[in-house]
Each structure stands twice: as structure tokens, then as C-alpha cells.
Structure 1
Amino acid sequence: MSAVDDEADMCCAACGIKQLDNIKLKNCTACHLVKYCSVECQKNHRKQHKKECKKRMAELRDELLFKQPESSHFGDCPICFVPLSIDINKSALSSCCGVFICDGCSYANQMKDARSKRDPVCPFCRQPYASSNAEAERNAMKLFKAGNLTAIRQKGCEAKIVHNYGRAMELLTKAANMGDAVAHCELANMYGFGGGVEKDTKKAVYHWEEAAIRGNPEARFNLGVNAARNSKFDRAVKHWIIAASQGYDLALEKLTEWYHMGTVRKEDLTSALRAHQAAIDSTKSPQREEAATADRSC
């Protein structure tokens, strides 16, 4: 930064007053590019600054959006601390505590209970498992009323399945406002595909982006599809590479398809293949392999 730029940075962008001991300047809350001495000055300067502000906001949004997430939206199993698979069918939700546990830990706990001939208990909270569907529903309702995020999202998803879209929107919006990636993705799908609500691509993209930022690969894949439909091919490929690196099969299939079309570079596909396999391998454990083998033998 030059001396002139540095001096300008220490002045109010509207009135030009310098920052002194008794005058504190504050950054534009949206872009942080300029400073103001008061809310009034910020309002007065809005017309001149609006275009630059929106451009910088879009750049900041993309920086956040295309940052590789540290893990998937499901995180790690709270028992073995191995990343949970993005395949929800490989985890079990405990109605007693509202926690997702990997199949490996769930199976190991079942075997331990069987050997000790004790009543089955949750491996996380150690409370007895529900003895019936009715009891499991009562447990889930207790969590829901207590404001448990997972329970709220699950109720929203259940409402969507039975086409109670008004209730689904209410609960999924509540869960999304609490930061839930799955809820954001479900809302995006409703807006994007017209599931019970009027299609609204702008709202769909917003919720897909929020879900993707939080590590949801399905939302990331859908962003790629939307980008491709709008001829933003480089953007689509970026999304699919990240989704593939999270172990999302459809993204890898799309990259492979576009490679044969000449749209994706060989080095990008090779990197995505390796990252995809690494993501899958990171969710493996001896206990999970044992559980999968036991399931196949049933």
C-alpha cells in the first residue's frame, strides 16, 4: 500500500475527516474497503460506494464458498472420532440424545450388550434404547421441544416427506437459521425443484451456498449443475472437484463425463479421483468393516 493509499485509508470516505484520538473510524460493515466516521456519512456515501461494495462482497463470498471444507457436514463419530460417511445410511441416529453414531460403533455396542446380556443402551449417552417406535417418538419429541437442532431438522424432513410443506418450511428454516447444512440443502431443493413452494432460483442458490460452505456435498453438486446451466463451466468444475473430494460419487461421475467431452483437464480429474478415494478411505475403520460384513450376512 502506498503512502497516499495508507493516508486515504485513515480518512472518512464521505467527509474526509482524519482519524484522531477523539474520532474513531469504522469499516464499511459489508466490504471493509473504506472507513466512515459516522452512520450518517456511510448513508451519504452509499450511492458512490455501492458498486465497489457489491463487487467486493461477491469476491468475499466466493473466497468463502470455494474454500475446501475441513470435513463433511456430518463431522466425526462422537465415539470413535473417525469422520462419518456422507451416506446417511451408514450412521444411526439415537432418539435418546439426538446424536449420529457410525455403524461401526453402533454394531460394536450391540455385540457388547449381547455378550454381557444387559439391556441395550446408547453408546453415547448410556441411556436405555427405546423399546418401541412409540417410545422412540416420545424421545424425539422431548429433544424437539428442548430445541435440539437435529430433532428440529428431522421433524422438518419428515414433514416434507408427507407433503406437509408449510410445516416443513417452518422447521427447516428454523434449523437453517441455527446453522444446519442439511436444512439449508433441503430448503434449496424445495426452491430449486419446486417441492411444495414456488420455484425461486435465487433463494435456492443462496441455501445451496450456505449448505456447501458448511460442507454439504449434495448442495455443492447442485451448485455445479446450476452453474453449468448458466454456461459458467469453470465455476461448475470447481464445485464438482470439491464435492468429489468429499467422496460424492455424482460429482466424480460428472467430472469424468466432462473429461471425455474435453471440458475437464486430465490433471484435474486425476486429482479429483485421488481426493475422492482419500475421502472414502478416511471414513473406514475395522469396526465399520465388521458391521458392513455382518449386515451382508444377515
Structure 2
Amino acid sequence: MAAINLSVGAARLLKLFVGRGGPQSHRGPGKGAQRSRKSESGEGGEPTNTAADRTADHEDLGPRSTMSCVPVGVPVADDGAEACANCGKHGSDAVKLKDCTACRLVKYCGVDCQRAHRKQHKKTCKKRAAELKDEELYSQGHERPEGDFCPICTLPIPIPMDKNSGFNACCMKRICSGCDLAVKKQGMFDCAFCRTRYPGNDADALAMIQARVLKRDPEAIYYLGMKYFHGHLGLQKDMRRAIELWAEAAELGSIQALYNLGAAYYQGEGVQQDKAKAVEIFERAAKQGHIGSRHNLGCIEAEKGNYERALRHFLISAKLGDKESVENIKKIFMRGQATKEQYAEALKGYQDAVEETKSHDRDEAKSLL
């Protein structure tokens, strides 16, 4: 079987980390409306795009697991009332029963009973807790996040986003190539969203970003982290500072910052390598619709030979418009680990997602590249 397009292979993940996942590229001083095709991947310097700060961002399978999710049931007394799983006390005004927070299958009257029952309950608890975690993981993140939509035409931006949109540091909005072209055709070369004049040099661009950082804008904090990661806008390259900023941005709600943290931990970039922690972070981002994170989870499962789990991840990301996930499902199908129906479902979902991103302005912009 041809190698699966594992976005989390060492080199491949780094490419995602600084490009496909969405590092913002800076649109520096320049003339005309020509858009650079390079993202901030460190492979060609900083893309320039008519004196503005622009870039791109994000990118997610199927057959539902046959795993049993039927609860074992909460112990009940002879009269049908719920009871403590350890001592059998009835729930009442005086005895408040609380669920086992991990599995929610049984209840306890107190911590002592929960501890006493732990050895007997542990195996069932762990099994059900894992099932609940999977239910949450695979049932969430089937819609792209708000930041994946152009705020002007409101259409989802095609994947890869760094090839089909630009990021403006003045308002921290991603504008699709179609809307960007449309306003330029009208003779306007300022920000298409907020009408702010683009910065004329790196110092002005950095000041613009830092002004929003001071207001605790999560995307601005994430974006400043990207500048430290690449050493752009006159900043010295500083991976640890980038990690600090991404962690702060993630806490404030930046999904892209969360994704970058996952990639950093997976590769040991600026932090001690911790793949288990990376997976946890990718899961948090994937449940919010981050396509690159969902795709990476599929790759990680495929590397382990867990093709059913990989397929479930890839089908989600394929239906969100990720072509690489479709290709991976095809490779798993060719290996005999996926059905023809699963591949057809992924392909149809991908095609539908792509169709939703189309517009006349975007087609025109694409023809000019």
C-alpha cells in the first residue's frame, strides 16, 4: 500500500504546523494586487501582498463504530429507588447520591463508598469512560468554525485556506480571494472588511498587531506568536515565546493556536516532546471543527494500525473539504481496510463541501493566479 498521507509524520506535521493549519502570512509593503502563493512556512521568506497583513488557516470520517454504548445501569433498591453502588443506601433528602463522574453508570452516597467500590468497579468504569469519550470525539466538530468563513460573502473558504484567502492584521479577519479581488476592481486597496489602510512597513504592522494583543484579542496573540515562530516583522525568532503566546491565545479561544500547540508537542518544537498531550490537544481542536487537527488524529490512528478509528476521523475531515483525507481513505480502501461505500461517502462529502465554497468572484480570482 502506498504510504498514507500522514500529516503527523515529522516533516509532514511541520508543514501543517506552519502552513496548512493556518499560520498567518504578513502582507507587507508593495504595489499591485498580486497575491503570493507562499505561506509562512519558512521556505521562501515572508509572502508579500500589497502592503497588508494577510494569510491563511485551517482544514476533517465516517462509519460509526460498532462499540457498545449501552449503560450497565445504576443499582436500584427493591422498591425501584436508586441506591449507592457500594453500601446500597437509598437516595433521599438526607442521602444525596452522586454519579461516578468518569462513567456515569453508578452512583455513590459519598467519597468513602466510591473508594471502597473502586476495585470492583474499575474495569467497567474505564470501558464506559472510553466509550463516552469516543461518543463526544466523533459526534462533535462536523461543522467548520466561524473563522473558516469569509466575513464579507459569508461562504466557507476553500482548503487550503492559505492559497484561497488572506488575513488582515488590522481587524484579524480572513478575507477570501474573491472578495479581495472584488474590492480591488472597485479601486479600493485598503482592508476590504474594516477599510483600514494597510501598514506601510514592518514596524507599523507590528504596532498594529500589538495594539490588538493589548486588548487580549486571541487571534492577535496567536498571530504575534507566528511572527516569533518565523522571526518576521523585525522580531528575533523565538520558539519558546511563540509557544507562550499560543498557549495564551488557546486559553482565550483561538482554535488555530490550539492546533499549533498540538503540533509543537507532537514534534517537540520549543517544548519537551509529549505525543499523548499532543493528541489531547488535537482532540480539543478537532471537536471545534479544526480540519487539520481532525486529519492528524486520523493519521495518528492509521500509524498505529487502527484503521477503523482512522477512517472515522478522515471521513469527518473529508466532509469538511479536506482532499488529503479523501486520498487517505482511498489508500486504506486499496489496502482492504475500508469498504467501497465508505470511500464513496467520503468522496461525495468532499465534493459537496467543495461546491459550497464556490462563487463567481472566487473563480475569477483563481483564474488570475
TM-score range, shorter-chain basis? 0.7 to 0.9
> Could you tell me how far apart the structure 1 residues matched to 2:72 and 2:101 are?
24
Equivalent residues in 2 for 1:123-134 (5 A)? 123-134=192-203
Alignment check: 8 A CA contact 2:141 2:290 kept? no
State the match for 1:195 in structure 2: 269
Alignment check: 8 A CA contact 1:9 1:34 kept? no
> Could you tell me how far apart the structure 1 residues matched to 2:331 and 2:74 are?
51
Relative to 1, partners in 2 of residues 1:234 and 1:2: Cα closer, same or farther, differing over 3 Å?
A: closer
State the match for 1:228 in structure 2: 302
1:8-41: CA deviations, max 9, x gaps?
7722334433222344433333332223344555
Higher relative contact order (CA 8 A, sep 6+): 2
Question: Does structure 1 residue 95 correspond to structure 2 residue 164?
Answer: no
Relative to 1, partners in 2 of residues 1:265 and 1:105: Cα closer, same or farther, differing over 3 Å?
A: same
Q: Specify the code of the residue in structure 2 equivalent to 1:87.
A: P
Equivalent residues in 2 for 1:10-159 (5 A)? 10-39=82-111, 41-43=113-115, 45-67=117-139, 69-73=141-145, 74-89=147-162, 90-112=164-186, 114=187, 120-159=189-228
Partner SS, residue 66 of structure 1 = helix
Equivalent residues in 2 for 1:207-226 (5 A)? 207-226=281-300
> Could you tell me how far apart the structure 2 residues matched to 1:215 and 1:4 are?
34
Q: Specify the code of the residue in structure 1 equivalent to 2:271.
A: V
1:198-235: CA deviations, max 9, x gaps?
32221121112112212122222222222122221211
TM-score after normalising by structure 1:
0.85
* Higher mean C-alpha deviation, range 19-28 or range 275-284: 19-28
Relative to 1, partners in 2 of residues 1:68 and 1:2: Cα closer, same or farther, differing over 3 Å?
A: closer
> Could you tell me how far apart the structure 1 residues matched to 2:282 and 2:365 are?
33
State the match for 2:337 in structure 1: 263
> Could you tell me how far apart the structure 2 residues matched to 1:204 and 1:176 are?
14
Long gaps (5+) in structure 1: none
* Higher mean C-alpha deviation, range 171-180 or range 134-143: 171-180
Q: How far 1:238 moved relative to its partner? A: 1.7
TM-score after normalising by structure 2:
0.70
Equivalent residues in 2 for 1:230-249 (5 A)? 230-249=304-323
Q: How far 1:69 moved relative to its partner? A: 2.7
Q: Specify the code of the residue in structure 2 equivalent to 1:134.
A: A
Alignment check: 8 A CA contact 2:91 2:97 kept? yes
